[in-house]
Chains A and B, each alone.
Chain A
Amino acid sequence: MERAATPVAVLAAEAAMPDTGEFEALVRQHWPSVFRFTLGCLRDRDAAESLTQDCFLKAYQARDRFRGECSFHTWVMQIAVNLVRDYARNRRLQFWKRTRTTAIDVTEAGPWLADGSASLEQQVAAREELEAVWEAVAGLSERQRTVFLLRFVEDMELLDIVAATGMKEGTVKVHLFRAVHAIRERLGRRK
């Protein structure tokens, strides 16, 4: 699979590593992507924001080690994947802290699904469908969810997902297929 050199990759490769000003520009550019990924993984706004900050802090501290072998986006997503993994591990150990106050409630997704042209019935159907996918994604294993989000929300190509997760190509495919299967099953149950 061909990997297109993104403008960020070119920028990063040219700069060998961006200085502070350029790094700030990269943070602004990639913040939404990292935040979206962590939000999808954790389903908690505060935790996602905290992890996104950690991610860019780590990226800044390790900027000398960035050689431009992959795009800056892939590199920073790799850091995010590791942080999410560590966070999930710690949460498992700290099971008594599982009360989340800023967790996303998908039943309040109305404003984000609002479509002026859709009838009320269609809006209700869309919300129910979203809830089904949301629950299915929540029920995925951490690796399945990571691969699912990188592919379907972040539009990353197979080799970029391989680079970001450190998994083998076949493993990435297996996790993604299982994730899609779980979602299809959940949607099928609704039918």
Chain B
Amino acid sequence: MKTHLADEQISACVAGWANSEEQEHLAQCESCREQVSRASAGIALYRSYLRKRSDADTRSRSESVKLDGADRRWTTTRWAAAVAVLALVASVPVYRNLRRAPAQPAATDADTVLLEQVDAQVSQAVPDAMEPLARLMTWDGSAAGDSARALTTRKGSDEKQN
């Protein structure tokens, strides 16, 4: 048998890139085979650990993404519930006011009477202070006749007294 494999050749065997000559030597040399298998075992351990570890991290990542999604949905639900409760609470006074609404007609009647009085005053031809004068100056003359008659009656009674 030739001399043992060189360091690079052992590495090539570990990497799986050994040529036919190196493979042939390996098949015959227990010492070189032992070196290759020892390095391969250590690397396989490393590979296995890294794969399991990263797979676990990847799984936990995707689970946390799912949980994040669920959390977001739950948060949205909670907000919706809070808004609904607030809306309900806010609607209670409105509802109570609506129930009190029938008590209002009395106030409404008083308002109507007041408005009618205002309308009547506004629609007057002359202000209250000038009302007697306006009675004297009516166009149909009846009022004026009455006034004249009242004036004449008062003149006659004055003359009688004199």
Which residues from chain A sit less than 8 Å from chain B, CB to CB?
31-32, 35-36, 39-40, 45, 48-49, 104, 106, 109, 112-113, 126, 129-130, 132-134, 137, 151-153, 158, 173, 176-177, 180-181, 183-184, 187
Q: Which of A31, A48, A106, A183 contacts B43 (CB under 8 A)?
A: A183
Contact call B11/A187, Cβ cutoff below 8 A = no
A-side interface mostly: helix
Alpha-carbon gap, A32 to B56, bound state (A) = 10
A-B contact pairs, 30 of them (CB 8 A): A32-B54, A32-B58, A35-B54, A36-B50, A36-B51, A39-B57, A45-B57, A126-B45, A130-B46, A133-B42, A133-B43, A151-B15, A152-B15, A152-B43, A152-B47, A153-B50, A153-B51, A173-B12, A173-B17, A177-B8, A180-B15, A180-B43, A181-B11, A183-B42, A183-B43, A184-B35, A184-B38, A187-B38, A187-B39, A187-B42
Alpha-carbon gap, A138 to B50, bound state (A) = 13
- B contact residues, total (Cβ < 8 Å): 29
Q: Say how far B40's CB is from chain A's closest CB, in angstroms.
A: 9
Which residues from chain B sit less than 8 Å from chain A, CB to CB?
7-8, 10-12, 14-15, 17, 35, 38-39, 41-43, 45-58, 61
Number of residue pairs spanning A and B whose beta carbons lie under 8 angstroms apart: 85
Q: Say how far B10's CB is from chain A's closest CB, in angstroms.
A: 7
| Chain B hits for A129, CB < 8 A | 41-42, 45
Q: A32-B55, A177-B8, A180-B15 are in contact. List 7 more A-B contacts (CB 8 A).
A: A36-B51, A133-B42, A176-B15, A181-B11, A183-B39, A184-B10, A184-B38
Alpha-carbon gap, A45 to B60, bound state (A) = 12
If A129-B42, A152-B43 touch, does A180 touch B14 (CB 8 Å cutoff)? Answer: yes
Q: Say how far A58's CB is from chain B's closest CB, in angstroms.
A: 19
If A36-B51, A36-B54, A181-B11 touch, does A158 touch B45 (CB 8 Å cutoff)? Answer: no
Q: Say how far A176's CB is from chain B's closest CB, in angstroms.
A: 6
Contact call B54/A130, Cβ cutoff below 8 A = no
Q: Which residue of A lies closest to B53 (CB)?
A: A112
Q: Which of B7, B38, B55 contacts A181 (CB under 8 A)?
A: B7
Alpha-carbon gap, A134 to B43, bound state (A) = 9
| Chain A hits for B48, CB < 8 A | 112-113
| Chain B hits for A187, CB < 8 A | 38-39, 42
| Chain B hits for A39, CB < 8 A | 50, 53-54, 57
Nearest 6 pairs of A and B residues by beta carbon: A180-B11, A177-B11, A36-B54, A133-B46, A112-B52, A133-B42
| Chain A hits for B15, CB < 8 A | 151-152, 176-177, 180
Q: Which residue of A lies closest to B60 (CB)?
A: A45
| Chain B hits for A153, CB < 8 A | 46-47, 50-51
Alpha-carbon gap, A152 to B43, bound state (A) = 7
Q: Which residue of B lies closest to A113 (CB)?
A: B49
Alpha-carbon gap, A39 to B39, bound state (A) = 22
Q: Say how far B5's CB is from chain A's closest CB, in angstroms.
A: 12
Alpha-carbon gap, A184 to B14, bound state (A) = 10
Alpha-carbon gap, A49 to B41, bound state (A) = 28
Alpha-carbon gap, A50 to B47, bound state (A) = 22
If A113-B49, A158-B17 touch, does A35 touch B42 (CB 8 Å cutoff)? Answer: no
